[in-house]
Amino acid sequence: MSRILRLAAAQMGPTQCVDSREAVLARLIALLEQAAGQGAQLVVFPELAFTTFFPRWLLEGAELDQYYETAMPNPSVQPLFDRAKALGVGFYVGYAERTPEGRRFNSAITTSPDGSILARYRKVHLPGSVEPRVGDRFQQLEKRYFEYGDQGFEAFRGPEAWGRPVMGMLICNDRRWPEAWRAYGLQGVELMLIGYNSAAYDPNGGSTENEEIRTFHSNLAAQANAYMNATWAVSVAKAGNEDGSGLIGSSVIVDPNGVIVAQAKTLGDEVVVADCDLDACRQGKEKMFNFAAHRRPEHYRRITEQVGAILPD
């Protein structure tokens, strides 16, 4: 029996800081309904989908606190959960999490078709800085506003209705780090879900990066790592001119050979759908990337024992 799962990448256009929560929820629900209308069983939304990408500014107090969710779901996002349950569609969505203890994480959840939460994930690879860069119009202050994720890369099973896929979650910068993918690969991952908000300029200052090269890198990271771990991947953007700051688009669904099978064409709200044969992962897992047969972890100690580069003498 084949395991075919119809996936949707629900790219969002920009969310401005003046946009109301009600307006953003209406957009998310409209995308969900559009995807469900095309037969999607699982919909992937972007990182920090409920708000603008607030780490681009220096914020404090109540002005900062407004961007965090103190529970998931909560009354302001419950309509999305209710509509997804009514449609029998699961979803991945990213958000800013504040725990009851006051800890703050860049987080994501995946829900099942019955509305229950299958798994939660907290972003591990936080880019940017703690302190703002003097003179820059836009910042990248994720290290200031979030803690490093504390739950690692734990795979989980999807429901029977999806063919019980082995699933993983990453957020934005995580997709650029092969260690994260391989941690999931060693658990047999078949479907990686990723949301991102990636600047269309060098977010760390300078002029060596532009929209074209950053879009290329985004696609490259998804394609190469999907291939090297023999997994499907869905990588979904919030895109366009957000509060005067450009975000790349190019949301993609990638197969286990690293081939893009569906791709967004705009920088706005857009749904792309693909039928994913989960058993197509077996080719890579049983041959080229048969880890049990070919890995040699005794030679990989630097990967876990070292942070910065140490040059030879």
User: For 20-31, what is each residue's pLDDT tens digit?
Assistant: 999 999 999 999
- Decide if 46 is inside a domain: yes
- Decide if 226 is inside a domain: yes
Q: Is the pTM of this model over 0.95?
A: yes
CB atoms within 10 A of CB 306: 9
CA distance 45 to 176: 18
- Decide if 163 is inside a domain: yes
- Decide if 190 is inside a domain: yes
Which residues are catalytic, by number? 47, 123, 172
Residue numbers of the domain that contains 252: 4-288
- Decide if 303 is inside a domain: no
- Decide if 300 is inside a domain: no
Residue 212's CATH number: 3.60.110.10
Number of domains in the chain: 1
Query: What pLDDT digit, counting tens, does each position of 153-185 carry?
Result: 999 999 999 999 999 999 999 999 999 999 999
Q: Which residues on adjacent β-strands are paired with residue 105?
A: 97
| DSSP state, residue 128 | S
For the chain, give the longest Cα–Cα distance. Answer: 63
- Decide if 296 is inside a domain: no
Residue 295 makes CB contacts below 8 A (sequence gap 6+) with: none
| pLDDT value at residue 137 | 87
In this prediction, residue 101 has a pLDDT band, given cuts at 50, 70 and 90, of very high
- Decide if 301 is inside a domain: no
- Number of continuous H segments (helices) and E segments (strands) in the chain: 9, 14
Of all residues in the chain, the percent with pLDDT exceeding 90 is 96
